[in-house]
Amino acid sequence: MSAEYHQPVMLNETLDAMEIKPDGVYVDVTFGGGGHSREILKRLGPNGKLFGFDQDPDAWSNAPNDDRFTLIDQNFGFLANWLRMHKVRAVDGILGDLGVSSHQFDSDARGFSIRYDAPLDMRMDQSRSLTATEVVNDYTVERLTEVLRQYGELRNAWQVAKAIVKQRPLQRSGELMRSIQMFAPRGAEHKFNAQVFQALRIEVNEELEVLKQMLQQAATLLKPGGRLVIISYHSLEDRLVKDFFRSGNFEGVPDKDFFGNLSRPLEPVHTKPLVPTEDEIQRNTRARSAKLRTATKLDLNE
């Protein structure tokens, strides 16, 4: 199943950026189809350890049968707590391949994709109570506008929200798209619908807040010299990662000490993100918006 579940993006670039030590301890916070994890295991020696996180029960069928690997059925927002339960307090590297897996986009069961007429669910973790159905049917027009503007970056968020409210109740993705099709720019209907779906998905799964939590915990968990590698797929995620790597906060405002030195736990390895090659984009179109950023943990005792 793993080969079809999710094709790992920028695989070689990711593994090189992590600078894996054979006896190191690593974490893949977005296990998914296990493509990145399997390559990490190939570079680990017999004493190395790899922990994977994934809240989607479908991912469990992809878990490698390897004594060096442990899959944790949890949201990566609880990264530090769950590693502590496994008696791990410091790691050599952390990988996060953000967004929705190919498997989730290709499934017609949960409403992630604009290609299918599916129930408006969009929960990555099926134990969560909030679904996209509740967002579109129960939110006020003002709250729905804010979700579409903030997470979908829609300029006409107010008009779209009013159209959704007028057409309620909406139970399926096809109904949702039909209710707002008049607001899609001609020739950019696909992008417009994707922005709406992105906004709902981020709201349902609290993706940006969870990402912030993970980044802060990762900075604490990494050993000096350890690597944090993040692949993002839209500007909202990438901006958070970029600002945190550069300034140590999510506002992007440099915090300097008395001597004018930057006060931050991580240092970016590259000034600009790495992006997929044209060859990879041709082989895997979902890689086209990927940006890979790497930071290393500073030794504050130096």
| CATH number, domain containing residue 112 | 1.10.150.170
Assess whether 160 and 193 both reside in one domain. yes
Give the residue, 136 or 260, on which the prediction is more confident: 136
Assess whether 166 and 41 both reside in one domain. no
pLDDT digits (tens, 9 = 90+) for 224-237: 999 999 999 999 99
Banded pLDDT at 3 (limits 50, 70, 90)? very low
**Residue 302 belongs to a domain:** no
- The pTM for the full model equals 0.91
What pLDDT score was predicted for residue 108? 58
Mean pLDDT of 61-79: 94
What pLDDT score was predicted for residue 302? 52
Mean pLDDT rounded to a whole number for the chain = 91
- Of 168, 189, 205, at which residue does a domain stop? 205
Separation CA 6–CA 69 (nearest Å): 19
What pLDDT score was predicted for residue 262? 73
Assess whether 8 and 96 both reside in one domain. yes
* Residues 229 and 18 sit within 8 Å (Cβ to Cβ): yes
53: enclosing H helix or E strand:
strand 49-53
**Residues linked to residue 51 through DSSP beta bridges, in sequence order:** 27, 70
**Residue 140 belongs to a domain:** yes
Assess whether 201 and 221 both reside in one domain. no
Domain region containing 48: 2-103+208-297
Separation CA 200–CA 123 (nearest Å): 10
End-to-end Cα separation, the chain, in angstroms: 47
Domain count, the chain: 2
Supply the Cα-derived Rg of the chain in whole angstroms. 20
pLDDT at 143 > cutoff 60: yes
Burial class (CB in 10 A: 0-12, 13-18, 19+), 152: buried
Assess whether 220 and 177 both reside in one domain. no
Task: For strands 222-232 and 291-297, give the pairing.
Answer: antiparallel
Banded pLDDT at 260 (limits 50, 70, 90)? low
Assess whether 57 and 124 both reside in one domain. no
pLDDT at 60 > cutoff 90: no
Mean pLDDT of 183-205: 95
Contacts of 162 (CB under 8 A, 6+ apart): 141
Mean pLDDT of 115-140: 92
**Residue 34 belongs to a domain:** yes
Return the structure tokens found at 196: 């709406």
pLDDT at 281 > cutoff 50: yes
* Residues 163 and 154 sit within 8 Å (Cβ to Cβ): no
Assess whether 39 and 79 both reside in one domain. yes
Assess whether 127 and 150 both reside in one domain. yes
Mean pLDDT of 158-181: 97
Banded pLDDT at 178 (limits 50, 70, 90)? very high
